[in-house]
Amino acid sequence: MKKVILTLTTILCLSAIVRADEGMWIPALLQRNEAEMQAMGMKITADDIYSINHSSMKDAVVLFGGGCTGEIVSEQGLLLTNHHCGFDWIQKHSTVEHDYLTDGFWAMTMEEELSCPGLTAVMLKNMVDVTEKILFNITDETTDEERARLVKENINKLVTAEQDRSEYMVSVESFYQGNQYFLMYNEVFDDVRMVGAPPSNIGKFGGDTDNWVWPRHTGDFSIFRIYKDNKPYKPDYHFTISLKGVEKGDFTFVFGYPARTNEYLPSVAVNQEANVVYPVVVDLRTQILDIYNKYQEKDAKVRIQYASKHAGLGNGWKKWMGVIEGIRNFKGIEKKQAFEESFYEWCQKERRRMIYSRVLREFDAVYAEYEKYRMATTYLTEAGLSIELIDFASNFTKLADMTKDTPQEEIDELINNLRQATAVFFKDYYQPIDEEVAVTMLTAYRAAQPEDFRPEILNEIDKNFKGNVKSYVDYLFGKSILTSEEKVVAMLDNFKPSKAKKLAKDPAVVAFNSMMDFYIEKVLPKSKEYNNRINNMRRVYMEGQMKMIPEVYPERNLYPDANFTLRVTYGKVGGFKPKDAVTYRHFTTLDGIMQKENPDIYDYVVTDRLRELYEAKEFGRYADKDGSMHVAFIAGNHTTGGNSGSPILNAEGKLLGLNFDRTWEGTMSDLVYDPSICKNISVDIRYVLFLIDKYAGCTRLIDEMTIDE
Ligand code: ARG
Ligand code: ASP
């Protein structure tokens, strides 16, 4: 056993040397990576990428809409991001007469660019290490509670003081699980307008079928523009576009806003995620999606109504299946265990390292106890609240609590909001789906969660419906007024506090309250307690790893988990071998779109215009030197959710494409990164420009870009 572990450790150690692809680096500290990046082929400097003394690439990268990344590509604030990142805005601007989702949208003049109230672009101006300031009055003797209080207090003090002095938005962000803190200065742009989007059968080509999958053919881009004082924003930097394309082995880097990763978890936690939680979520979502599919296939209206819900559930569903398989096939848990073994050995060498080995040992027990609460939450959100009627009822609990003492304005405002929520809900509601989901989910919920640790409503099915879930669901949907838009509107029209009691007895409101009561009384307090404990333990374990890794694996560069802050990641272009006998090339072409074309399958419809351009080979200067139109490519950049829309850049820092996804086999990269299998997917910028220019004829946008032929 020992021998096996030692060999694994050696492999880990060796792979650390060649594992340049792993890591999401803090741009302000990029000097540390410069030599390696240049050795891999980069021709520019870390200072070109991030500088606070002169304009640099960071001045052209923004957090788009709070969850994606965008990049500036002209002197007039023109911004590129993914189609799926702009999707909500394309949808919001669409009407029956102007269906931009279906037909695409192209502002042929600046006047035609559409404002998007609420949409922001956030740009990092400066970041400063303030760890000492945040942790200055904390010692080894400080208790966890005291530490949390002091950290909060120190952050507040610093932010308040800095905010007074700064024109930018100031915040403090925690890195390495609370072992390092940075003060961040961000400029917030709140006038971002929609400029262009291809039709969905280009921007979403392959749909949910191809989602997370390579080979991929999605033209996943949309175009916006930042305005400041009602004028196009003049950025300090904008990206030059390269039309040279990529070759296997080329150096690339991705600059963007990865949201969350957990690369330093102990094996027991990875095991809980990948082998306990995700399988349940996947199983529940499979059942729901099967029901959606059945009805969506039968009825075009239902297909549209459930398209976005389907995409939302389906994205995580597919990803987590990939994580489960990836962790298994690439021995994620075993690798973590081998690391823990060597960590343990390292701890034994000095007395004062005992605090780390103790915490490592304690993880097993804490995660074992936590599992019960984790699963209770999982069933609540994934089974209970996926019943749309019960989720909808959550909107009405406040109204059901109104008394004759509630001020009338408060009631009026609430009713107003409820009217809107009601219209939104019923626009996309199909009751037969929901009833079937309810039967399936409540059955699964009851089977999995013990009688003494689940919402009372699940036990009442035994008492009042002889354990027959279907009878309960018939009663729930038959008796609740919340299944009927007409009845809800009438109830809102005639609402008086004296009617609140009746609303509180509505079976859907009762069901929701029962689930919430259980959660708030039995699950939440304990979950919080465990989460706090686990977070403290992870902080200590991280601190240990930060000391151990440089000593034991000196060639391995540590990086903090993603936390929605700007990062740089780099790797080389190249295909991979997902399984025995299968090899993937690193790029796809328009030929592949034509091969997938199927007018009868929604995800694979090709417009006449695109087919014509393909047949005439009208690719102009956007064709690859092999003569074909390249659509997407993969490389070994360590990305995650939030990196969508990020610029992928070449050795000279010129724009090659837009990152939009990862390969399914490598989705475990949020927990365990394996360079042989974890690849990011980008749309080729030449395909984007071809669509803007040749497909849409929106040449004014091409004209304002800086293009390197
Ligand atoms: N999987 C990508 C991400 O996590 C793209 C999702 C949008 N595309 C889709 N077909 N649903 O965001
Ligand atoms: N598709 C993801 C996003 O929207 C990117 C990823 O998870 O790789 O950010």
What secondary structure does DSSP assign to 106-142, as a single string?
E-SSGGGPEE-TT--EEEEEEEEE-HHHHHTT--TT-
Angle at 404 between CA 403 and CA 406, to 5 degrees: 70
For residue range 524-540, list pLDDT tens digits in order. Answer: 999 999 999 999 999 99
CA 208 – ligand 1 centroid, Å: 8
Which three-class secondary structure state does DSSP give residue 667?
helix
Model confidence, pTM: 0.93
Residues 6+ apart with CB under 8 A from 44: 651, 652, 653
Q: Are 656 and 650 in contact (CB under 8 A)?
A: yes
662 lines ligand 2 (CB under 6 A): yes
Cis peptide bond N-terminal to 232, omega within 30: no
640 lines ligand 2 (CB under 6 A): yes
Query: Cα-Cα-Cα-Cα dihedral of 355, 356, 360, 366, to 10°?
Result: 50
Extract long-range pairs of 331-337: CB within 8 Å, 24+ residues apart: 332/270, 332/274, 332/668, 332/671, 332/672, 332/674, 333/267, 333/270, 333/271, 333/274, 333/275, 334/8, 335/8, 335/12, 335/672, 336/265, 336/266, 336/267, 336/270, 336/672, 337/5, 337/267
The residue nearest atom 2 of ligand 1, judged by CA position, is 661
CA 315 – ligand 1 centroid, Å: 6
Maximum Cα–Cα distance across the chain: 76
pLDDT along the chain (709 residues), means of 10: 41 43 95 95 98 97 98 98 96 88 96 98 98 96 96 98 97 98 98 98 96 98 98 98 98 98 98 98 98 94 88 95 96 97 97 96 97 98 98 97 93 96 96 98 98 98 97 98 98 96 97 98 98 97 97 91 98 95 97 97 94 97 97 98 98 98 97 95 98 98 97
Cα 201 to the center of its chain, rounded Å: 22
Which uninterrupted H or E stretch holds 526? helix 524-552
For residue range 430-485, list pLDDT tens digits in order. Answer: 999 999 999 999 999 999 999 999 999 999 999 999 999 999 999 999 999 999 99
pLDDT of residue 20: 61
The residue nearest atom 2 of ligand 2, judged by CA position, is 641
Give the pair of three-digit tokens for residue 115. 């404002």
Helix axes 469-479, 456-465, angle to 10 degrees: 100
Q: Please tell me the distance from the alpha carbon of residue 151 to that of residue 130, in angstroms, as a whole number.
A: 12
Q: Please tell me the distance from the alpha carbon of residue 709 to that of residue 695, in angstroms, as a whole number.
A: 20
CA 640 – ligand 2 centroid, Å: 5
602: phi then psi, degrees, rounded to nearest 5: -50, -45
- The amino acid sitting at 495 is F
For residue range 585-644, list pLDDT tens digits in order. Answer: 999 999 999 999 999 988 999 999 999 999 999 999 999 999 999 999 999 999 999 999
Pairing label, strands 78-81, 222-228: antiparallel
* Mutation pick for ligand 1 pocket among 81, 84, 257 (CB with most ligand atoms within 8 Å): 84
Give the pair of three-digit tokens for residue 279. 């399988």
386 lines ligand 2 (CB under 6 A): no
Half-sphere exposure (Cβ direction) of 435: Cα atoms closer than 13 Å: 17
669 lines ligand 2 (CB under 6 A): no
- Domain residue spans of the chain: 22-120+190-255+561-709, 267-536
Give the pair of three-digit tokens for residue 620. 């102009």
Tokens 């390696």 belong to: 36
Give the pair of three-digit tokens for residue 387. 């019943």
642 lines ligand 2 (CB under 6 A): yes
Q: Where are the strands (E) in 198-318, listed by range?
A: 222-228, 231-232, 241-242, 251-256
- Residues with catalytic annotation? 84, 220, 644
635: phi then psi, degrees, rounded to nearest 5: -150, 170
Tokens 């962000």 belong to: 173
What secondary structure does DSSP assign to 296-333, as a single string?
HHH-HHHHHHTHHHHHHHHHHHHHHHHHHHHHHHTTHH
Tokens 């090339």 belong to: 585
Ligand nearest to the CA of 84: 1
Q: Please tell me the distance from the alpha carbon of residue 197 to that of residue 86, in angstroms, as a whole number.
A: 8
Which uninterrupted H or E stretch holds 681? strand 680-684
Which residue intervals of 299-430 are DSSP H helices? 300-305, 307-329, 332-348, 354-379, 388-393, 397-400, 408-427
Count how many residues are written for the chain.
Answer: 709
- The amino acid sitting at 307 is A
Extract long-range pairs of 285-290: CB within 8 Å, 24+ residues apart: 285/313, 285/314, 285/316, 285/317, 285/382, 286/317, 287/440, 287/441, 287/444, 288/313, 288/386, 288/437, 288/440, 288/441, 289/313, 289/314, 289/317
513: phi then psi, degrees, rounded to nearest 5: -60, -40
Q: Which CATH number fits domain 22-120+190-255+561-709: 3.40.50.300, 2.40.10.120, 2.70.98.60, 3.40.50.150?
A: 2.40.10.120
Which residues does residue 655 pair with via DSSP β-bridges, in sequence order? Answer: 241, 649
644 lines ligand 2 (CB under 6 A): yes
Ligand nearest to the CA of 645: 2
- Mean pLDDT of the chain, nearest integer: 95
Ligand nearest to the CA of 258: 2
Ligand nearest to the CA of 315: 1
CA 633 – ligand 2 centroid, Å: 15
DSSP state of 240: P
Which three-class secondary structure state does DSSP give residue 245?
coil
DSSP state of 33: H
Report how far apart the first and last C-alpha atoms of the chain are (Å, whole number).
Answer: 58
Lining ligand 1 with CB less than 6 A are 84, 204, 207-208, 211-212, 311, 315, 641, 644, 661
